């Protein structure tokens, strides 16, 4: 089985890239990575450690134009006769993988949370995390888009070859006018630790308590929908059934009641901590650790405790 793995290597190698290369290695022997990003050759070469046999890079592509990327990946897949193409389920994959599915008549499994079972079926998240489904692909070629934080990166080999590749990507159809990337923020879907807060925080000026804890933990921040709707927090922080779905290792929910639509987006988290004044808040039913208490008192105490913990470990 020859596997083609697409990674986005803009700004370096992300953890999600290590996850999908590891995924590729687990399902096939010959794993080729295709990328178009700006990462340098030595960091691309290090993907060999996670199972890549070689890395192909086309540096002519800018701005992740979906049609150009589709041409690039199609060309690489056809050249090596790939049986499976693997993506990390991010914004690029959402635009490119379905296009490839049509172009190659290859069944697309999006949101995979595990490697295929012996009968070839793949487990995915459905109903916004309220259930799992097992997907069968009828076509001989497959595309699997893996949810971030579903596979633990594993080192199994050593550096591999990196080759410049010309995918005949053609002209872009979309003109990029401006790009805004907030500096230093951890993208929410990739974050392993998330500190999230809801209406219980009372007002936007109280968020410094939430941010202080996130900073101490090295966590990303998130929020409930009403908080984003009233403009206390940016929309991209809104998690839940109609926001971002995440599956971090740790999700700390502060002053969030735990409505079914909120839980749908976060119940894939490995460990959930709930801080709420109301002992009857539904969120406690989905929690591993619960604290009945006032966030305004508990948060500074928790931040202090994390600080102390980090200090004793260094």
Ligand X SMILES: Cc1cc2nc3c(=O)[nH]c(=O)nc-3n(C[C@H](O)[C@H](O)[C@H](O)COP(=O)(O)OP(=O)(O)OC[C@H]3O[C@@H](n4cnc5c(N)ncnc54)[C@H](O)[C@@H]3O)c2cc1C
Chain positions 237 to 266 lying near ligand X, rule: CB under 6 A, are 240-243, 255-257, 259, 261-262, 265
- CB nearer to other proteins: pick between 8 and 224: 8
Piece of 18-26, 42-50, 155-163, 298-306 that binds other proteins (CB under 8 A): 298-306
User: Which one of 197, 250, 253, 266 is in contact with other proteins (CB under 8 A)?
Assistant: 250
Among other proteins, ligand X, none, the one that 94 touches (CB under a kind-dependent 5 to 8 A) is other proteins
Residues within window 176-215 making contact with ligand X, judged by CB under 6 A:
198-200
Which residues are CB-contacts of 264 (< 8 A; sequence separation ≥ 6)? 127, 128, 129, 130, 240, 241, 245
User: Which one of 12, 127, 208, 230 is in contact with other proteins (CB under 8 A)?
Assistant: 127
Instruction: Return the bridge partners of 109, or none.
Output: 144
Tell the smallest beta-carbon distance from residue 53 to other proteins (Å): 26
Which residues are CB-contacts of 289 (< 8 A; sequence separation ≥ 6)? 271, 272, 273, 274
Instruction: Identify which of 18, 53, 67 has the alpha carbon closest to the alpha carbon of residue 39.
Output: 18
Residues within window 145-204 making contact with other proteins, judged by CB under 8 A:
173-182, 185, 187, 192-193
β-pairing, 54-57 vs 30-35, is: parallel
Which residues are CB-contacts of 255 (< 8 A; sequence separation ≥ 6)? 197, 198, 199, 200, 201, 202, 275, 276, 277, 295
* CA torsion through residues 234, 232, 254, 298, sign: positive
Q: Is 282 in the site for other proteins (CB under 8 A)?
A: no
Residues within window 218-237 making contact with ligand X, judged by CB under 6 A:
224-227
* CA 8 – CA 36 distance, rounded (Å): 7
Task: Return the SS3 of 109.
Answer: strand
Piece of 45-53, 77-85, 94-102, 158-166 that binds other proteins (CB under 8 A): 94-102
At CA 82, angle to CA 91 and CA 155, rounded to 5? 70
- CB nearer to ligand X: pick between 128 and 150: 128
User: Which one of 2, 30, 67, 83 is in contact with other proteins (CB under 8 A)?
Assistant: 67
Q: Is 294 in the site for ligand X (CB under 6 A)?
A: yes
Count, residues near other proteins per rule CB under 8 A: 98
- CB nearer to other proteins: pick between 165 and 284: 284
- Give residues in contact with ligand X (CB under 6 A): 198-200, 224-227, 240-243, 255-257, 259, 261-262, 265, 275-278, 281, 294-296
């Amino acid at each position: 089985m020859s596997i083609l793995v697409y990674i986005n290597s803009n700004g370096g190698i992300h953890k999600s890239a290590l996850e999908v290369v590891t995924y590729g290695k687990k399902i096939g022997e010959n794993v080729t990575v295709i990328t178009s990003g700006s990462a340098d050759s030595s960091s691309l070469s290090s993907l060999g450690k996670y199972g890549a046999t070689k890395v192909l890079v086309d540096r002519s592509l800018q701005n992740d134009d979906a049609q150009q990327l589709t041409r690039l990946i199609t060309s690489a897949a056809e050249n090596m006769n790939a049986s499976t193409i693997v993506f990390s389920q991010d914004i690029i994959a959402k635009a490119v993988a379905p296009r490839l599915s049509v172009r190659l008549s290859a069944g697309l499994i999006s949101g995979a949370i595990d490697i295929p079972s012996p009968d070839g079926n793949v487990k995915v998240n459905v109903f916004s995390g309220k259930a799992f489904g097992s997907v069968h692909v009828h076509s001989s070629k497959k595309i699997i888009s893996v949810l971030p934080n579903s596979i633990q990166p594993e080192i199994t080999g050593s550096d591999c070859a990196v080759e410049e590749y010309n995918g005949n990507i053609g002209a872009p159809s979309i003109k990029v006018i401006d790009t805004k990337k907030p500096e230093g923020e951890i993208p929410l879907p990739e974050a392993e630790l998330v500190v999230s807060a809801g209406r219980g925080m009372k007002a936007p000026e109280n968020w410094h308590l939430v941010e202080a804890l996130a900073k101490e933990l090295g966590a990303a921040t998130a929020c409930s929908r009403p908080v984003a709707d009233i403009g206390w927090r940016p929309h991209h922080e809104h998690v839940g059934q109609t926001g971002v779905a995440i599956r971090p290792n740790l999700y700390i929910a502060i002053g969030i009641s735990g409505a079914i639509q909120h839980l749908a987006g976060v119940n894939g988290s490995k460990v959930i901590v709930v801080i709420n004044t109301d002992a009857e808040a539904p969120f406690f039913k989905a929690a591993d650790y619960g604290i009945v208490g006032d966030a305004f008192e508990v948060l500074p105490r928790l931040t202090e405790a994390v600080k102390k913990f980090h200090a004793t470990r260094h």
